[in-house]
């Protein structure tokens, strides 16, 4: 029971990463590799500040700001210096490895004997504090995003991703929209890193490896499972997709697979989810031909 509760809680926390990725990969149609650097950056900033005795919430705000600055760098490389999309993210991600090492001052740092945001609900049954914290953060982020995306600026952001040429013809500064989108996205990714680090009890400069696959898996599972939805409902579907993804990993581990193979398994799960619409479409086509 404790393992199941912990898995659901982790799904909720990691869904923040998926929501951040959704802004760039789906709304802006911007394949952003920065997240593999901004995730450990958020973890490093939060852990070093908590370890130094600073306020937990102050540390997490700094983590969000740090991630937003990382997103800003990628956006400026792409929009102002005209460096290709993928290369812009890779350059920032590579630079952040050194930045994270300087922030953390070592390869990893433990939060042993330090209070974290999860310490505020220690009276709850085991692992239920993760679920409560996850629900609180998810509710706030979904509410703020829903309000933002329904503003004039939010609609301009969506229009930029849908049809950049049309958006520009309507007077939208698409470069500014990309900058804002990447800053918000990487801010959320860094915030996720700060939460994951506190829940795990440490920060490590390599903890960002493969987080893109985790986030995309949650997005794809949510889309495949629930189909075409409104924007707010789609974000909620991503949260559910993140939980389903974590439950799939739990089942895989319970079946006796080596934990060292989790990255491989994550990639396979994502590949299967990406292939499902194509397989489903071909199956329907073959079925129609068979009926005729």
Torsional sign, CA 208, 9, 234, 225: positive
- The string of pLDDT tens digits covering residues 258-285 is 888 888 888 888 888 888 778 877 877 7
Could you tell me if 238 and 141 are in contact, meaning their C-beta atoms sit under 8 angstroms apart? no
Residue with tokens 């060292």: 260
pTM: 0.93
Question: 283 or 63, which is more confident?
Answer: 63
Query: DSSP of 235-285, one letter per residue?
Result: HHHHHHHHHHHHHHHHHHHHTT--GGGHHHHHHHHHHHHHHHHHHHHHHHH
Mean pLDDT of 29-38: 94
Angle CA(220)–CA(221)–CA(223) in degrees, nearest 5? 65
- The string of pLDDT tens digits covering residues 128-165 is 999 999 999 999 999 999 999 999 999 999 999 999 99
- What mean pLDDT value characterizes the chain? 91
How far apart (Å, rounded) are the C-alpha atoms in residues 80 and 66? 21
* Amino acid 245: pLDDT: 92
Q: State yes or no: pLDDT of 292 exceeds 60.
A: no
- The string of pLDDT tens digits covering residues 162-189 is 999 999 998 999 999 999 999 999 999 9
């Amino acid at each position: 029971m404790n393992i199941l509760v912990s898995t659901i809680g982790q799904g909720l926390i990691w869904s923040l990463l998926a929501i951040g990725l959704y802004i760039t990969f789906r709304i802006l149609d911007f394949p952003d590799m920065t997240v593999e650097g901004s995730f450990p950056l958020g973890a490093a900033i939060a852990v070093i500040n908590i370890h130094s005795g600073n306020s937990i919430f102050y540390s997490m705000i700094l983590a969000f700001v740090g991630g937003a600055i990382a997103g800003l760098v990628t956006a400026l490389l792409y929009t102002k210096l005209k460096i290709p999309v993928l290369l812009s993210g890779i350059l920032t991600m590579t630079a952040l490895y050194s930045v994270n090492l300087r922030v953390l001052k070592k390869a990893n740092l433990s939060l042993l004997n330090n209070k974290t945001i999860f310490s505020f609900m220690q009276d709850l049954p085991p692992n239920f504090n993760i679920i409560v914290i996850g629900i609180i953060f998810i509710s706030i982020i979904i509410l703020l995003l829903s309000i933002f995306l329904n503003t004039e600026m939010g609609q301009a952001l969506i229009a930029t991703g849908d049809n950049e040429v049309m958006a520009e013809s309507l007077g939208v500064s698409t470069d500014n929209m990309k900058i804002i989108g990447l800053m918000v996205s990487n801010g959320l990714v860094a915030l996720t890193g700060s939460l994951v680090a506190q829940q795990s009890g440490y920060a490590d400069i390599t903890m960002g490896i493969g987080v893109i696959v985790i986030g995309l898996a949650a997005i794809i599972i949510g889309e495949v499972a629930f189909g075409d939805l409104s924007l707010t409902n789609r974000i909620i579907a991503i949260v559910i997709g993140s939980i389903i993804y974590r439950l799939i990993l739990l089942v895989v581990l319970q079946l006796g697979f080596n934990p060292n193979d989790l990255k491989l398994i994550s990639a396979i799960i994502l590949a299967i989810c990406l292939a499902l619409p194509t397989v489903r479409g071909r199956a329907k086509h073959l079925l129609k031909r068979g009926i005729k």
